[in-house]
Amino acid sequence: MKKLWSILTALILLAVLSGCEKKQPAAEPSLLLGFSQLGSESSFRIGNTKDIEEKAKEYGISLMMENANQKQENQIDAIRRFIAYRVDVIAFSPIVEEGWDNVLTEAKNAGIPVVLVDRTVKTDKEDLYVSLIGADFYREGVMAAEYLLKKADDLGKDILNIVEITGTEDSTPMRQRQQGFADTIRKDPRMNLLESVNGDFLRSRGAECMSYLLEKYGDRIDVIFSHNDEMTMGALPEIEKAGYAPGKDMILISIDGGQEAIDILKEGKINCIVECTPMLGSILMETALALKAGKTVEKVTHPVERAFTDYDDLSDLKPRGY
Ligand code: GYE
């Protein structure tokens, strides 16, 4: 009798378990995306990498992310690996604008679409990439200069001596921010650019550049235009060490808009930060999925960006997330 009960119990248990929801196999990823990130040089870049990784997970996309550590040859090698791996879409943020035609032709011949993220390439073969998702850097330069023209009216000075700390030589943001700024200040006779020096978007180099400029020009400097927050953060201690009050004795204009720099702007040590959002992951994933589905995509997508200045009330500004 006892034996019968134990068989019965086993049978009932088996029936219950087999009726349970069978663990569904993980859904197949919708596509395989190869992404070559240029480095980890700034909070913008780190925020961009994090956003792309998070959005790939959210969209169910399998991501092969490779970090090139600021070297173009590493990005070219990564793109070749993505081609060999037969990914569905290749995306990358080109560290500089020139030198991509060969490897992008290899991707085209392999039938793999390429999406540019953040920065662009210089090529006369427009079909080597299908889409550019990134900021209008020329406009960012214009916005920085427009702030300065307005500030100049309030300062009431006849001449404003400007020094510029530029980003990575031959990169899209460096070239276009510099051009947008120069084209805008050129219209105003009060604006006098003393010198541009290259800080490569790095905090350490921003400090070196500022130390050199202070040594050379000292209190002649009225305005510092820095192409990104990292270099601005490097420059700040040098300004204070030299005995000047940043944001007061010298006007500081920066670009990116990460939390650290926004907090310093709220303290009054930076006067203007033009936003350059790294949150490009969603647009990238939607573009990749559209390409996989054989749909056409926008050739250029610029995120909407604003400037944060010492004229604004930023007390209820949401956390920046980078
Ligand atoms: O401004 C800087 C990063 O390409 C827009 O690169 C990006 C720039 C950004 O190193 O912080």
Q: What is the mean pLDDT of residues 253-275?
A: 98
Task: Give the start-to-end residue ranges of the domains of the chain.
Answer: 32-135+278-304, 137-276
Provide the 3-class DSSP secondary structure of residue 302.
coil
**Ligand 1 atom closest to residue 201's alpha carbon, by position in its atom list:** 10
Q: Please determine, for residue 28, whether its predicted confidence score (pLDDT) is greater than 80.
A: no
Ligand 1 contacts (CB < 6 A) are 41-42, 44-45, 118-119, 173, 201, 228, 230, 255-256, 276
Q: What is the mean pLDDT of residues 176-202?
A: 98
Instruction: State the pLDDT at residue 149.
Output: 97
Q: Which residues have C-beta within 8 Å of that of residue 275, sequence separation ≥ 6?
A: 256, 257, 305, 306, 307, 308
Q: What is the mean pLDDT of the chain?
A: 94
- Report which of 101, 175, 90, 98 is spatially closest to residue 130, judged by C-alpha positions: 90
Ligand 1 centroid, distance to 175 Cα (angstroms): 12
Q: Quick one: pLDDT band at residue 229, thresholds 50, 70, 90?
A: very high
Q: How much distance in Å is there from the Cα of 310 to the middle of ligand 1?
A: 23
User: Helices 172-185 and 137-155 meet at what angle, rounded to 10?
Assistant: 40
Measured in angstroms, how far is the CA atom of residue 194 from the centroid of ligand 1?
A: 24
Asked if pLDDT for residue 20 goes beyond 90, the answer is: no
pLDDT of residue 183: 98
Over 60: is that where the pLDDT of 22 sits?
A: no
Residue with tokens 């406009």: 139
Whether pLDDT at 292 is above 50: yes
Nearest CA to ligand 1 atom 8: 173
pLDDT, average across residues 219-231 = 98
Give distance in angstroms: CA of 139 to centre of ligand 1: 15
- Residue 30: the pLDDT is 76
CATH no., domain 137-276: 3.40.50.2300
Binning the chain into helix, strand and coil, the percentages to the nearest 5 are 45, 20, 35
Q: What confidence score (pLDDT) does residue 18 get?
A: 47
For the whole model, what pTM was predicted? Answer: 0.91
Amino acid 17: pLDDT: 47
Query: pLDDT class for 11, splitting at 50, 70, 90?
Result: low
Q: How far is the CA of 294 from the centre of ligand 1 (A)?
A: 31
Question: What are the phi and psi torsion angles at 25 (to 5°)?
Answer: -60, 145
Rounded to an integer, the average pLDDT of 8-35 is 63
> Which of 138, 256, 302 is the pocket-test mutation for ligand 1 (most atoms within 8 Å of CB)?
256
Give φ, ψ of 67 to 5 degrees: -100, 125
The percentage of residues in the chain with a pLDDT greater than 70, rounded to a whole number, is: 91
The model's confidence at residue 69, banded by pLDDT at 50, 70 and 90, is very high
Interval 236-250 mean pLDDT? 98
**Ramachandran class of 201: left when φ > 0, alpha when ψ lies in -120 to 50, beta otherwise:** left
Centre of ligand 1 from the C-alpha of residue 110, in Å = 30
| Model confidence at 13: pLDDT above 90 | no
Range in 4-8, 110-114, 191-195 the model is least confident about: 4-8
Cα–Cα distance between 12 and 195 in angstroms, integer?
84
Under CATH, domain 32-135+278-304 is a member of which superfamily? Response regulator (3.40.50.2300)
> Residue 2: is its pLDDT beyond 70?
no
Q: Summarize the confidence of residues 47-70 as an average pLDDT.
A: 98
CB 75 within 8 A of CB 68: yes
Question: Above 60 in pLDDT, residue 181?
Answer: yes
Whether the per-residue pLDDT at 19 is higher than 50: the answer is no
- Fold match, 32-135+278-304 / 137-276: yes
The three-class DSSP label of residue 113 is: coil
Q: Report which of 249, 93, 265 is spatially closest to residue 172, judged by C-alpha positions.
A: 93
For residue 231, give Cα distances in angstroms to 34, 216, 228. 30, 18, 6
